[in-house]
Chain A
């Protein structure tokens, strides 16, 4: 699975949009981009995923560049409860369970601090 690069930390003012970048320059054509977040001392929580089109759900938007070498997770109106470590992961979607389905490589992520 492709490796990702994220800034170690970011700050964001409450109510503003938080834009979290992720570089995945070695991504393959069949690899998806997944985002999870982990609030302190809790289990990670799935946020969103995509292949090449931009995606939006109730939590966030995912913008993937045309060459797919980078992406940005957008939290449109950050709140204090969005303070967490955000993980960007790329991996193949293996529908036939031939390998390690859950072996998502969680790097150190980006620690987002939302400030009042």
Chain B
């Protein structure tokens, strides 16, 4: 089945540690995104990538880093510089299309907590 897969489902980070969240899609989508969601809040954009080997900062990129070496993969690293990393992280992909339907496909999310 085609889809977008995030792993792990739950992740724990120690103080000063970097952790990497995985996001893989087999939808052949060009664009991929990372969002952060805090309890009871909407989604905020961290980083996005419209094409391989290129990515842009979103609204809250500080303390995070990404790479896009392959079309299928867009891993997110939460660095030690991110002082409040506890949140639900969502990855999404989108087909590159000049049409009007720009719907996002989301993964099932990763819950990151600080020990």
Contact = CB atoms under 8 A, between A and B. Distances in A.
Given A42-B109, A46-B103, A95-B99, A100 B90 contact: no
B45 A93 contact: no
A95 B97 contact: yes
Contact of B43 (A44, A46, A97, A101): A44
Interface string B32-48: 01010000111101001
Interface string B75-86: 000000000000
A115 interface: no
B54 to A, nearest CB: 11
B114 interface: no
A59 to B, nearest CB: 12
A17 interface: no
B50 to A, nearest CB: 5
Interface of B: 6, 31, 33, 35, 40-43, 45, 48, 50, 56, 58-59, 88, 90-92, 94, 96-109, 111
Given A102-B31, A106-B35, 20 more contacts: A41-B88, A41-B109, A42-B109, A44-B43, A45-B106, A49-B103, A93-B102, A94-B102, A97-B50, A100-B45, A100-B48, A101-B48, A101-B50, A101-B94, A102-B33, A103-B58, A104-B43, A105-B42, A106-B42, A108-B40
A79 to B, nearest CB: 21
A44 to B, nearest CB: 5
21 contacts: A36-B104, A42-B109, A43-B90, A43-B92, A43-B109, A44-B106, A45-B106, A46-B104, A49-B100, A87-B42, A93-B99, A95-B99, A100-B56, A101-B31, A101-B94, A101-B102, A102-B31, A102-B33, A102-B104, A104-B43, A105-B42
Interface of A: 32, 34, 36, 41-46, 49, 51, 87, 93-97, 100-109
Nearest to A45: B106
A100 B50 CA distance: 9
Nearest to B103: A46
Contacts of A94: 102
